[in-house]
Amino acid sequence: MTKNEKKATKPKDVKEEVVKETEKEVKKVEEKSTEEKLLEEIAEQKDIYLRLAAEYDNFRKRTAKEREETFTNAKATIFEELIPVIDNFERAEVTSATTLQDYKKGVDMIFSGLLEVFSKFGVESFGEVGETFDPNIHNAVMHEENDKLEANVITDVFQKGYKIGDKVLRVAMVKVAN
């Protein structure tokens, strides 16, 4: 090889080396770029997840608070209606110059006021003499044989039952025939 040939190949080889090194650096930058993109995407997804978790926690706390407030407001509404009944009992207790008949009339008025409150909130009584016995809402504490009545007929009520809609608050204690 002559000196001219060596000179000619050297710049060409150098060019090829520079190109190869440049391509390697580009690949490294592209790899870093891809890796950085993935890391950024992971960070974004993590941020979304943390925000969603915080939002859910806030929702859970808010609904628990609202549920408690609703329960408290419902109780308050009922007791606001019962306070006048208590006031009437207190007035009856401090009144001393009344006859037994007046006292009984006052108790009857208080009782009817209490029944009005029950009715206002949809509380119904059940367990009347002559009704058919239902084990879901009646508790038979006594049984009697009576040929004049049909089977499973209530003959006596010891304690009335109460319900709101289909929810039984207290079963009725009854005496059942046959």
pLDDT by residue for the chain (178 residues), tens only, comes to: 455 555 545 666 777 777 788 877 777 777 777 888 889 899 999 999 999 999 999 999 999 999 999 999 999 999 999 999 999 888 888 877 678 888 888 889 999 999 999 999 999 999 999 999 999 999 999 999 988 888 899 999 999 999 999 999 999 999 999 8
Is residue 68 in a domain? no
Is residue 24 in a domain? no
CA distances, 18 to each of 13, 15, 25 (Å):
9, 5, 10
| Residues 166, 153: Cα–Cα separation, whole Å | 21
Enclosing domain of residue 127? 123-178
Write out the two tokens for 22.
């440049």
Is residue 20 in a domain? no
Is residue 106 in a domain? no
Is residue 127 in a domain? yes
Partners of residue 162 on adjacent β-strands:
125, 170
Residue 176: name the closest of 130, 115, 136, 121 by CA: 130
The count of structural domains within the chain is: 1
